[in-house]
Chain A
Amino acid sequence: MSPMRCVILLAGLLVSLPAAADEFTEQDLKRWEEQFQAVVKQGRELWTSGSLGTNGVACAQCHPNAANTHPETYPKFQKQLGRVANLWEMVNWCLRNPLEGEPLAADDPKMIALLSYIAWERRGVQLAPGKH
């Protein structure tokens, strides 16, 4: 392949490429926010429903507006476990104990929804990893 032909091919490629990685529109931002808020809404529904565990107890009974969950402090040393833990592990503690249910995988869509709702209710609070 001659050098000239190579340059032409490259130019053609550049022209036909979709938008570069850091280019997104107002519509994109709106759509992503809607995606996120839809998951937050699912999280709120799970949070207030008695269906996550087996005894009808809902997260919201002890944690109205997800208060006293302190997402900004994780990961942190969880004295009851004797090691550094993440928030999803504590969610599972609650699923197993007060809710008498089964734990969720960290990437289970329900867990992601719960964590999204928790974080949304705590928006604006400064990160404080490790804080007890």
Chain B
Amino acid sequence: MSRNFDRRSFLKTAGLATAAGTLPMTLVEVAFGQSSRNFTFAYISDAHIQHIKGNQFVRNWDRGLIRAVAETNLLDPRPDFVFFGGDLAQLGTKEELDHGAEILSRLRGKLYCVMGEHDYYLDLGEYWSKLFGPHYYSFDHKGVHFVVLNSILTYDDWTYNRWPTAEQRMLEMAGLDNPNGSPFMVGEKQREWLAKDLAKVRKDTPIVVLSHSPLQKIYKGWNFWTEDAEEVQALLAPFDKVTVLYGHVHQIQYNKIGNIVFTSAMATAWPWPYPQSYAQVESYLPKLTVHMNRADPFFERDATGWQFIDVYSGRVAVNYNLYNNKARRVAYNEATGQPEDTQYQSPDARIPPQTHY
């Protein structure tokens, strides 16, 4: 059974015509499988709500999240739920988390949240938990097993012994390129929980994992990295269909390691350079990735956006809604067995703004 739809027709009011230009126009084709099992969800990440003082917050970052929430609310048919992929706050304060939660509260439908390091390292996730619940958990939805991990933990010594104040600990981890930072990890306790959680799941059940940091090693200097990535990957290896969706990197990345398909999220706040553009170090950008366009700083929202996810036959297609660029779609290609950009994957199809240096 198949169905095609054009999302433009889902916009409910003519007054939203300007927003229509930024929503994905690609057709979604459900090639096979039980259509009742296919579904969609939205995925917003990395808002970095930043408190200035009193009732002032950095306007630029606010606007990115407000826009993602507003556009997500235009989706019809409704996504089954919305994920927020972490780094709601910049420095983990109550003011920032409350302000971010207030903006997210305007979302229609169920919200699931992932912990980011900017949410965590002030009070080790305590206030975040009051707002959004447990740091890691799993649930089943229409035959897919979803796992949410807190992948931004690090060595206990760094977390508990190294810094005189919680504020300094937060600031040290908040600087992406700060050499005083520490590599992210899922940690032994959570890996044990994951092993138990997955023990109940059939090997042919599709698994979708959400983490803030990539569960792979790309560039340690900016923590595009999870220290125990291999151990987590080993727990996921026995399953037929595994997708890992991650935030943190503020850019388009996708690849496959063994049976595991990885796809990143764009930030609503600001884009990051690809690590290869830092000339002094070596990094390992996933080979399949066709870069996002280089950001034009004169467009405040350029190279930011949010994602709309199609889950079909247990595979995932990520639609990137880019505020100032054409939408991108990275979908699992059954023929090649890889995630691929549906428009730009061929080297001939790429455009000059996708060259980063």
Q: Taking beta carbons and an 8 Å cutoff, which residues of A are in contact with B? A: 48, 55-57, 60-65, 67-68, 70, 80, 90, 93-94, 97-98, 100, 121-125
Contacts and interface: CB of A to CB of B under 8 A. Distances in A.
Main secondary structure, interface of A, reads: loop
Given A55-B56, A67-B278, A98-B300, 7 more contacts: A56-B51, A64-B176, A65-B280, A70-B357, A94-B297, A123-B280, A124-B280
A60 B278 CA distance: 13
Contacts of A56: 50-52, 58
18 contacts: A48-B175, A55-B50, A56-B51, A57-B50, A62-B271, A64-B176, A64-B278, A65-B221, A65-B280, A68-B273, A68-B294, A80-B296, A80-B297, A80-B298, A93-B297, A93-B298, A123-B279, A124-B279
B58 A55 contact: yes
Contacts, number: 67
Which of A68, A97, A98, A121 has most B Cβ within 10 Å? A68
A16 to B, nearest CB: 47
Contacts of A61: 48, 176, 270
Interface string B223-252: 000000000000000000000000000000
B58 A121 contact: no
Nearest to B91: A56
A121 B278 CA distance: 8
Contact of B52 (A48, A55, A63, A98): A55
Nearest to B299: A80
B92 to A, nearest CB: 14
Interface residues of B, number: 31
B52 A65 contact: no
A110 B296 CA distance: 25
B83 interface: no
A66 B56 CA distance: 27
B31 to A, nearest CB: 38
Nearest to B352: A132
Contacts of B272: 62, 64
Contacts of A125: 279
B222 A68 contact: no
A122 B279 contact: yes
A125 B50 CA distance: 34
A35 B152 CA distance: 39
A80 B302 CA distance: 13
Which of A56, A63, A67 has most B Cβ within 10 Å? A67
Contact of A62 (B52, B270, B296): B270
Contacts of A122: 279
Contacts of B48: 61
Contacts of A60: 175-177
B97 interface: no
B138 interface: no
B100 to A, nearest CB: 16
A79 B207 CA distance: 45
A70 to B, nearest CB: 8
Given A56-B52, A57-B50, A93-B297, A63 B273 contact: yes
Contacts of B168: none
Given A55-B52, A61-B270, A68 B277 contact: yes
B295 interface: yes
Contacts of A62: 270-272
Given A57-B58, A80-B296, A122-B279, A65 B50 contact: no
Interface in B156-186: 175-178
Contacts of A80: 296-298
